[in-house]
């Protein structure tokens, strides 16, 4: 057999393997069980009212926001959203209710493809897209609801998005609250690129499927990766504070912490421990909060957890030092990343946040 025939056979085998992986491969995390939720019923409270607003995103789909208005409508609104792969059902409503009881209006929203917001495929984590969503809600609050003053509130991943949104929308934002915030990619990603390269085959397959779907109007399944996992597991966010992948796959049996045990057993629209693999491309330097802190002109309140293994406190202190003015404060909690949402830490956090809002909003 001459070299040409050998080369042709090898090339043919490579093409067959590529076709198999692009069209038929399943990494065990394919698919997403999504049922579009109905609108949540309006709710009256002794101190205010909660309703639902649908806000147009840049692609024309609807961002769902829960709108909280105190009995005496304020001229100020707090715009809130959840952390990585989180929705507004992940313990955030208690913050919104506390702020409303304190006299502030609140817009608590889900990013596109999460929770009650529209968009397919589901759980598309992408910093550029979500910065657009934050800005869409800011524009809605300013131009449609006619609020004079706007505060941004974010926690963990969305804490970083809130900071970058403030940096990009200098004229529209009056202050920012950002707790246990995502500030930069972990140092281990920079010193050990192999941690991300392990996802490269899945990323290549997903990219090929996306291209084929857009070109030929097909519906090949996107590739997902577990969102949360323990160190050593094949998840996007690996942390000793996160549950194992099995924790989610076994119907949340044997909860590992108070925070995770308190999450809903069922979510509106469904929730799975998955994010689209293509979202890994979205963590670009231009979006990282650490590269935008010098552009933030409004007052900033950063809350950090000293025992945080997910977002080390030193990253948040670094961000604090890079804010170019003195209308800033930082508060440290003796707890881990997820403990700031519960019990005494939550009580102290919201009281300090109200003090900050009363001063600057």
Stretch 239-266: mean pLDDT: 80
Asked whether residue 21 carries a pLDDT value surpassing 90, the answer given is: no
How many angstroms separate the CA atoms of 333 and 352, rounded?
A: 12
Is residue 140 assigned to a domain? yes
More confident residue, 238 or 191: 238
Looking up residue 162, the CATH number of its domain turns out to be 3.40.50.1820
Asked whether residue 114 carries a pLDDT value surpassing 90, the answer given is: yes
Which of the four pLDDT bands, split at 50, 70 and 90, describes residue 361?
Answer: very high
Is residue 238 assigned to a domain? yes
Residues 6+ apart with CB under 8 A from 351: none
In this structure, the number of other CB atoms found within 10 A of the CB of residue 20 comes to 10
Task: Tell me, yes or no, whether 275 and 287 share the same domain.
Answer: no
Paired residues of 179 in beta bridges: 155, 303
Please give the pLDDT value at position 252.
61
Class of residue 225 by CB neighbours under 10 A (exposed 0-12, middle 13-18, buried 19+): buried
Query: How distant, in Å, are the alpha carbons of 25, 31, 51, 197, 223 from that of 28?
Result: 9, 9, 38, 19, 9
Stretch 3-9: mean pLDDT: 75
Please give the pLDDT value at position 147.
97
Residue-wise pLDDT for 155-190, tens only, equals 999 999 999 999 998 888 999 999 999 999 877 666
Is-contact 235 196, C-beta < 8 A? no
Stretch 68-95: mean pLDDT: 95
Dihedral class, residue 254 (left if φ above 0, else alpha if ψ from -120 to 50, else beta): left
Please give the pLDDT value at position 146.
97
How many angstroms separate the CA atoms of 45 and 99, rounded?
A: 13
Residues 6+ apart with CB under 8 A from 99: 68, 78, 106, 350, 354, 357
Task: Tell me, yes or no, whether 268 and 304 share the same domain.
Answer: no
Closest CA to 318 of 351, 291, 348: 291
Please give the pLDDT value at position 187.
73
Please give the pLDDT value at position 253.
55
The last residue of one of the domains, among 231, 249, 280, is 280
Instruction: Round the CA-based radius of gyration of the chain to a whole number and report it.
Output: 22
The last residue of one of the domains, among 280, 295, 325, is 280
Residues 6+ apart with CB under 8 A from 95: 80, 153, 350
Task: Tell me, yes or no, whether 230 and 270 share the same domain.
Answer: yes
- Concatenating the DSSP letter of every residue in 177-221 gives EEES---S--HHHHH-THHHHTTHHHHHHHHHHHHHHHHH---PP
Sign of CA dihedral 183, 187, 192, 198: negative
Crossing angle of helices 200-216 and 3-24, rounded to 10°: 80
In this structure, the number of other CB atoms found within 10 A of the CB of residue 309 comes to 14
Average per-residue pLDDT for the chain: 92
Task: Tell me, yes or no, whether 73 and 160 share the same domain.
Answer: yes
How many angstroms separate the CA atoms of 291 and 65, rounded?
A: 29
Task: Tell me, yes or no, whether 121 and 239 share the same domain.
Answer: no
The last residue of one of the domains, among 280, 315, 334, is 280
Please give the pLDDT value at position 254.
54
Task: Tell me, yes or no, whether 15 and 58 share the same domain.
Answer: no
**Domain range enclosing 75:** 43-185+283-360
Task: Tell me, yes or no, whether 74 and 169 share the same domain.
Answer: yes
Is residue 227 assigned to a domain? yes
Task: Tell me, yes or no, whether 166 and 26 share the same domain.
Answer: no
Crossing angle of helices 157-168 and 127-139, rounded to 10°: 60
Instruction: Say how far residue 242 (Cα) sits from the centre of its chain.
Output: 16
Task: Tell me, yes or no, whether 83 and 229 share the same domain.
Answer: no
Is residue 71 assigned to a domain? yes
Please give the pLDDT value at position 194.
64
Residue-wise pLDDT for 115-147, tens only, equals 999 999 999 999 999 999 999 999 999 999 999
- Into how many domains does the chain fold? 2
Please give the pLDDT value at position 212.
95
Task: Tell me, yes or no, whether 64 and 24 share the same domain.
Answer: no
Asked whether residue 48 carries a pLDDT value surpassing 70, the answer given is: yes
Is residue 229 assigned to a domain? yes
Task: Tell me, yes or no, whether 51 and 163 share the same domain.
Answer: yes
Asked whether residue 311 carries a pLDDT value surpassing 70, the answer given is: yes
Is residue 202 assigned to a domain? no
Stretch 26-53: mean pLDDT: 93
Task: Tell me, yes or no, whether 226 and 274 share the same domain.
Answer: yes
pTM: 0.94
How many angstroms separate the CA atoms of 358 and 158, rounded?
A: 22
- Concatenating the DSSP letter of every residue in 274-341 gives -EEGGGGGG--TTT-GGGTGGG--S-EEEEEETT-SSS-HHHHHHHHHHSSSS-EEEEEESS-TGGGG
């Amino acid at each position: 057999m001459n070299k040409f025939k050998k080369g042709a056979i090898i090339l043919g085998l490579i093409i067959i393997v590529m076709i198999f992986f692009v069209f038929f491969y399943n990494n065990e995390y394919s698919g997403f069980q999504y049922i579009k939720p109905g609108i949540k019923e309006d709710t009256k409270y002794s101190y205010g009212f909660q309703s639902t607003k649908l806000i147009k995103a840049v692609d024309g789909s609807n961002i769902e926001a829960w709108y909280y208005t105190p009995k005496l409508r304020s001229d100020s609104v707090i715009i809130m959203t959840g952390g990585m792969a989180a929705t507004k059902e992940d313990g955030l409503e208690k913050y919104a209710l506390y702020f409303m009881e304190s006299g502030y209006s609140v817009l608590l929203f889900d990013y596109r493809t999460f929770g009650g917001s529209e968009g397919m495929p589901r759980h598309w984590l992408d910093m550029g897209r979500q910065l657009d969503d934050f800005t869409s809600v800011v524009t809605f609050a300013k131009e449609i609801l006619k609020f004079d003053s706007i505060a941004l509130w974010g926690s963990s991943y969305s804490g970083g998005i809130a900071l970058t949104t403030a940096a990009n929308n200098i004229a529209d934002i009056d202050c920012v609250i950002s707790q246990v915030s995502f500030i930069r990619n972990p140092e281990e990603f920079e010193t050990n690129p192999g941690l991300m390269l392990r996802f490269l085959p899945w990323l290549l397959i997903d990219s090929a499927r996306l291209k084929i779907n857009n070109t030929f109007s097909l519906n090949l399944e996107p590739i997902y990766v577990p969102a949360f996992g323990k160190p050593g597991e094949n998840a996007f966010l690996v942390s000793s504070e996160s549950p194992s992948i099995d924790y989610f796959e076994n119907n949340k049996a044997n909860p590992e912490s108070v925070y995770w045990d308190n999450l809903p057993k069922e979510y509106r629209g469904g929730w799975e421990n998955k994010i689209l693999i293509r979202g890994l491309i979205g963590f670009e330097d231009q979006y990282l909060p650490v590269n935008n802190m010098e552009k933030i002109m409004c007052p900033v309140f950063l809350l950090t957890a000293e025992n945080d293994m997910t977002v080390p406190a030193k990253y948040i202190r670094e961000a604090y030092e890079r804010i170019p003015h003195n209308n800033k404060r930082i508060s440290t909690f003796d707890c881990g990343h997820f403990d700031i949402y519960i019990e005494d830490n939550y009580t102290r956090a919201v009281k300090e946040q109200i003090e900050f809002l009363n001063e600057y909003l």
